Amino acid sequence: MAQEMGRKYNRAAYDDFRQLIIQNQFDCLLVAAHIHSCDEYLRIAMKKKFNILKLAPPARNFEEATQLVQLAEEENIKFAVATPG
């Protein structure tokens, strides 16, 4: 599906979150993946100064959420959580 959408919109297609983040510089990254599959990538993106809009939940537990908020503050970026609906 990524390849098909890439062709449709004449854009690079990625099936690896890490490569998407490493090879690009975005103003904001919308993250809809489950936190257990994207925590590492969120941190990499934050360190590259990407603002993050994460669909709820923001983390697996309060401690992880606190760490993400602290990292966002250290990197001077926005980390926001959106609830579906």
Task: Let me know if residue 20 belongs to a domain.
Answer: no
66 Cβ partners below 8 Å, 6+ apart?
A: none
Quote the radius of gyration of the chain (alpha carbons, Å). 13
Which residues are bridge partners to 52 per DSSP? 29, 79
Q: Helix 62-75 crosses helix 35-47 at what angle (to 10 degrees)?
A: 20
In a domain, 60, yes or no: yes
Number of domains in the chain: 1
- Is 31 domain-assigned? yes
Q: Above pLDDT 90, what percent of the chain?
A: 73
The range of the structural domain enclosing residue 37 comes to 25-85
Q: Is residue 37 in some structural domain?
A: yes
Looking at residue 52, which CATH number applies to its domain? 3.40.50.720
Instruction: Tell me the pLDDT tens digit for each residue of 4-29.
Output: 988 999 999 988 889 999 999 999 99
- Is the separation of the CB atoms in 41 and 30 below 8 Å? no
pLDDT value at position 85?
79
